[in-house]
Structure 1
């Protein structure tokens, strides 16, 4: 079943490419299972396929493995009665895990078939990860960020010999390194062939609208490579947040100025989803991308760093000097300034006007950022750039070095001796005109009056403490970052991709944030369904 008009509307695709590609006459490479993506879903899928007797080729778009997972905090919300839970005297079961997940906030909108498969396989997956080289922290599991805080289910990994900083082994010094590097080593040891800098362009189906998925086309260094998958293809490309056209299909406000958690190390370009849609795959969980409830779905993030383009290079606000040793520092260009106390700055929009309590989080902050302002022309989407405004006293309190390599002077950080001079300097590819000087000066003066009064009369910030009065004055990029993908390709409990007729597309599997229907944040669903997908693909019987 072709995408037709829905596909064109969803992805802005070339109408000539709304169906799966015909298989080539000659394959450049072949394996039993081909995995696309090397994050928390892709590498487990490759290992799982290999241990079930399949030869495996894994392709990765970037020059190194790990995806968003290697930059994550590493916490895994895997419950249901794992050995680690039992070690700490924690009682849990798949039934309880399932019941908790389908009744908690926006998780109740999840596909229960998928959630049940996750709950059943959750504990076994954690035990399996340990068997495959993962070392868990010797601490009692905590409450999960990816689910309700009813039972301790969150565990984190450790990696011997790594000091926790950025460097060759870890692009951003994040704890996800301790998850992905041991799994990478296991995959390589098991004979998985990893092809870096290979980008998916097409899925091949026996015929364009029906039949089995038999392989993929990828590009590398400008060349096309056709790779046969004798048993199955697993899509684990990580979602669509870096694709502005696709993300705006779910929320039209998400225009180009919003950066993405995980960039620039890994991009969520939607390649896997778009290729699946061209084979007839159904979209699933579309509403989940924009639901506003009490759960921490992380659809958007408030930047933990200001003054550089990428405001969420890793979780937390610890010092960033180690990022200078990152293998991707040439892409990052500046480490950013980690914000410890939002009393030290105010946020203004592209009109130079304060619009929110800077201490706010979640939808309260994001929605205010994306709202129209005095500089938004009628009919235009997006809220435009957000700037953090502060002075020299704030920089001293925060212990910030307001110079390269900590800030990026190429459109992401500005300084001046007066507020008016600062306003005139603030321009970048998303801020087409400077901040209005009169508006910014009036905003700062009004805020300083709130400090004198001990009360924020506009947005209720807790007892404003510090005036913005000591030059130099600064403007630092502080625009929201897109994060979770909760909508995507439809799968069943075996990670098989489902088409618009509700039927399995033979030979096609998907896992992680390429899929929709499960509102869980974090690594756990990626790990579980990656393992399921690789196992099922390896065990599939191809009828000829």
Structure 2
């Protein structure tokens, strides 16, 4: 991996803390036709993860000849090792469930003014809830507007400079409005759904989980793509976009044996290379992480997710944003067979301390990830009680016991005993928790300005979860429109260039909400493929 990363990193200079873009010096794209023989196709897809396979299927189903270049030796990317949860408005499942009136009142406490352009969804949702609560309608309430409001609430956050992460309402709404069409398309590819909801600890209960998780989703997408005639070339990494007369017409790529091959696309090139969580140097750079501990610890992502799609697009003038927003997961997830439960602990957002048993930030803000990396010994600790234990085990049965066995959670009848087990000073932790509880009671946090609280930490047993960070998801990247065109710095489409998935930005904000992410990824993957095939 180092042989690949070093030349890519050579171009990265100082990055804006505000995340408005990356200030880079990269090799210019090839702008003159090469005399070398090229492999020609209609649509060229770079990356065979969830977005790439959806793009390949969408293009091939619309009559295009499609080639997919995959840098790794297998399909799926980060999607394959995810839980595969898809946020879908499943009316059949909702009708079979009990009413959920008690879960809806919280949505009535918000005002549209708090939500900016997302206030449109909140207003509609509140009207829907009033109608539902006034009716005798059986079944569980759900709606696209509820998905949108949950998505906004989960993704709100600022960086260390106080800059809000981008949440593009139109981009997300367009995808979620089409959620059932995407679901039926995936089922036509053989995807089977479990008859249970995936309950997110962020509050959402919209997701449908494929049998075999992310692998089940990928298998369906690959079948759709290959049945329609798309071909996949493995262990071939695109290194440079080819630009001719102001249009992207192909890529230079390196094969497994190191030889360079030109691939030309008559209709369009689609970037679906994923995020950059496996590029520790870049992650540390965009965050301004001084210790680089996450870079040393590694990533949950495939080794191929190093941000090369972003870099190639920047070389032809593509706009980027929110590069500083990313998330990490705790050590106990690293190397596991699935990252489906990533964020289970952090979604709880109770009380966080460092190795000195001191709080170091507002636990509800995305910037806490960055702050954790710079704490003494590079670790943090989540502190909770019976409520936190119940929520974690509800999200994943046996989760707490599993993490205890791995040595990353410590449970005891007293806070002091749990502190001793975790290597924290019992008296110092008791003082910090007592102070935090007083803030909860007062409803304000004079230390870090936290505004939302989940309750006091006071009911035995107590749990402490060690946070040793690994890069997990990156939320910044290329800017696209609702047709999946890559936009330049002026906000105009770059002719012949499309993108989808984690190489893009604007749909997650500052934090990840399981379910919505993959729905958006698959939608824009398919959209990119269809539009490239049809020349739109």
Shorter-chain-normalised TM-score: which range? 0.5 to 0.7
Give matches, 1:473-512, under 5 Å. Answer: 479-512=468-501
Is 1:187 matched with 2:228? no
Partners of 2:487 and 2:22 lie apart in 1 by: 22
Q: Which residue of 2 aligns with 1:199?
A: 237
Is 1:28 matched with 2:55? no
Partners of 1:490 and 1:364 lie apart in 2 by: 22
3-state DSSP of counterpart to 1:238: coil
Is 1:131 matched with 2:131? no
Is the CA contact 1:237–1:270 (under 8 Å) kept in the aligned structure 2?
yes
TM-score (norm: length of structure 2) = 0.63
Q: Which residue of 2 aligns with 1:526?
A: 521
Partners of 2:402 and 2:166 lie apart in 1 by: 44
Partners of 2:434 and 2:332 lie apart in 1 by: 27
Is the CA contact 1:68–1:262 (under 8 Å) kept in the aligned structure 2?
no
Partners of 1:490 and 1:450 lie apart in 2 by: 46
Q: Which residue of 2 aligns with 1:239?
A: 275
Give matches, 1:11-410, under 5 Å. Answer: 15=25, 17-20=27-30, 22-79=32-89, 101=151, 106=156, 109-139=166-196, 141=197, 149=204, 152-159=205-212, 175-207=213-245, 210-253=246-289, 256-258=292-294, 263=300, 265-284=302-321, 286=322, 289-290=324-325, 299-303=326-330, 305=332, 310=335, 314-316=339-341, 366=369, 369-373=372-376, 384=378
Partners of 1:181 and 1:99 lie apart in 2 by: 31
Partners of 1:98 and 1:401 lie apart in 2 by: 35
Are the structure 2 counterparts of residues 387 and 106 from structure 1 closer, same or farther at C-alpha, using a change threshold of 3 Å?
Answer: closer
Partners of 1:456 and 1:87 lie apart in 2 by: 42
CA RMSD of aligned residues (A): 4.8
Cα distance, 1:247 vs structure 2: 2.7
- Give the number of the structure whose residues are more often helix, by fraction: 2
Q: Which runs of 5+ in 2 are unaligned?
A: 1-10, 16-20, 98-138, 158-164, 346-351, 383-399, 409-419, 438-455
Cα distance, 1:125 vs structure 2: 1.1
Are the structure 2 counterparts of residues 356 and 466 from structure 1 closer, same or farther at C-alpha, using a change threshold of 3 Å?
Answer: farther
Cα distance, 1:477 vs structure 2: 9.5
Partners of 1:103 and 1:465 lie apart in 2 by: 30
Give per-residue Cα distances to partners, 1:180-205, cap 9 Å, x unaligned: 12322332333221111112211111
Give matches, 1:425-436, under 5 Å. Answer: none
Are the structure 2 counterparts of residues 145 and 231 from structure 1 closer, same or farther at C-alpha, using a change threshold of 3 Å?
Answer: farther
3-state DSSP of counterpart to 2:221: helix
Cα distance, 1:82 vs structure 2: 7.1
Partners of 1:399 and 1:110 lie apart in 2 by: 35
Partners of 2:96 and 2:403 lie apart in 1 by: 43
Higher relative contact order (CA 8 A, sep 6+): 2
Are the structure 2 counterparts of residues 464 and 220 from structure 1 closer, same or farther at C-alpha, using a change threshold of 3 Å?
Answer: farther
Cα distance, 1:311 vs structure 2: 7.3
Partners of 1:92 and 1:457 lie apart in 2 by: 39
Partners of 1:254 and 1:37 lie apart in 2 by: 32
Cα distance, 1:531 vs structure 2: 0.9
Is the CA contact 1:236–1:510 (under 8 Å) kept in the aligned structure 2?
yes
Q: How many residues align?
A: 415
Give per-residue Cα distances to partners, 1:432-484, cap 9 Å, x unaligned: xxxxxxxxx9x95844x689x999679889579999xxxxxxxx995212222
Is the CA contact 2:198–2:208 (under 8 Å) kept in the aligned structure 1?
yes
